[in-house]
Amino acid sequence: MLRNRLIDGVRRIKPILSWGQSLRSLSNGATSKLTTIEVDDRSGIATLSMNLPPVNTLTMELMHDLIDAINQIESNKSRGLILTSSNDKVFSAGLDLKELLNPEVDRLRLFWTRFQDLWLALHLCGLPTAAAINGHSPAAGCVLATACEYRVMLPNLFIGIHATRFSFVISKWMMNSYQSVLPRRIVERALNQGKLFATQEALDVGLVDEIACSKEEALSKCAAFIATFDKANPVARCLTKRMCREPDVRELLQDRAGDLKECVDYVTAPLFQEGLCAHLEGLKKRK
């Protein structure tokens, strides 16, 4: 049953371009103010950059553009997708916390649904995916990185889901994304501590796969990873990837409304609102 559902989904994906065909037209038409797509004509690999100053906060608008960009890259038959940042200090600072502060409930529902959509689009992307982490990647920035299949990080940065520091309890699908990369014991401890891993520590535990000295080197290492799939049939690879990742998404796909309700109930509760206010005040004092 699962294989049949996956095959039905893949039938809607157009065939992969052969070597030597130009993908330049994709880069001409797939750029917004918040994201840019650059495609290497030789490799067919698309680089998707987040471009929302100052720290690529995942606003409603940036998430919308990222989803559109992922879908465009997939449907235009690129050979792979590299996610990175145009900011040389921050990959993504995570969700827009202003959307969680004393929210209007309908707006909060839309915001959280869009975050669900973004994670599903990246986690289940049929193409090989890699993250060139050229800046700090806390919270939902880490969730985006772990949704990719490979991660290359620059030195002297940090990455991790530190939600407990601002009183947030993550959804199970976010934990599943973390746990698809790290052993459960490390995930449990890191989530409870609100731990942020330095680059070398992230490499040591397996949260990232390689360290690069520059963004250019990180992009090159990501492209080399994507090239390891050149001999695989792209449709068979897509089916196999989605079959491997189906357990990560099963509960969310079966009960998105339940996850949404849990989020709304928790975010609007006094415990979280008080914790978030304290966290935001602390951030203001650090500036």
**What pLDDT is attached to residue 281?**
87
Q: Where are the alpha helices (DSSP H) in 15-136?
A: 24-29, 60-75, 105-123
List all residues 6 or more positions away from 72 whose beta carbon is below 8 Å from its beta carbon.
26, 30, 37
pTM: 0.90
220 part of a folded domain: yes
d(CA 157, CA 203): 12
CA distances from 154 to 46, 89, 136, 164, 280 (A): 20, 10, 9, 25, 27
Contact 116, 252 (CB under 8 A): yes
CATH number at residue 178: 3.90.226.10
- Tell whether 191 is covered by a domain: yes
Domain for residue 189, yes or no?
A: yes
Residue 26's pLDDT is what?
53
Whether residue 15 lies inside any domain: the answer is no
Q: What Cα–Cα distance (Å) separates residue 213 from each residue in 40, 79, 210, 222, 286?
A: 21, 25, 10, 13, 28
Are 72 and 19 spatial neighbours (Cβ–Cβ below 8 Å)? Answer: no
Is 146:180 a contact under the CB 8 Å cutoff?
yes
Q: Flag whether pLDDT at 28 surpasses 50.
A: no
- Has residue 53 been placed in a domain? yes
List 269's β-bridge partners, or say none: none
- Of the listed ranges 8-22, 214-228, 253-267, the one predicted with least confidence: 8-22
Cα 267 from Cα 218, distance rounded (Å) = 36
Full residue range of the structural domain in which residue 154 is found: 31-285
pLDDT of residue 7: 46
Instruction: Tell whether the model's pLDDT for residue 283 goes beyond 90.
Output: no
Q: Which amino acid is at 116?
A: Q
CB 110 within 8 A of CB 61: no
Is the residue at 3 inside a domain?
no
Give the separation between CA 115 and CA 177, rounded to whole angstroms: 13
Please give the structure tokens belonging to residue 109: 């529902």
Band of the pLDDT at 282, cuts 50, 70, 90?
Answer: confident
Q: Check residue 284 and give its pLDDT.
A: 80
Structural domains of the chain, count: 1
Report helix angle 105-123 to 234-254, nearest 10: 150
* pLDDT bracket for residue 287 (50, 70, 90): low
Over residues 207-241, the pLDDT tens digits come to 999 999 999 999 999 999 999 999 999 999 999 99
* Residue 8 pLDDT class (50, 70, 90 cuts): low
- Report if residue 44 sits inside a domain: yes
Instruction: Answer whether residue 134 is part of any domain.
Output: yes
pLDDT of residue 154: 98
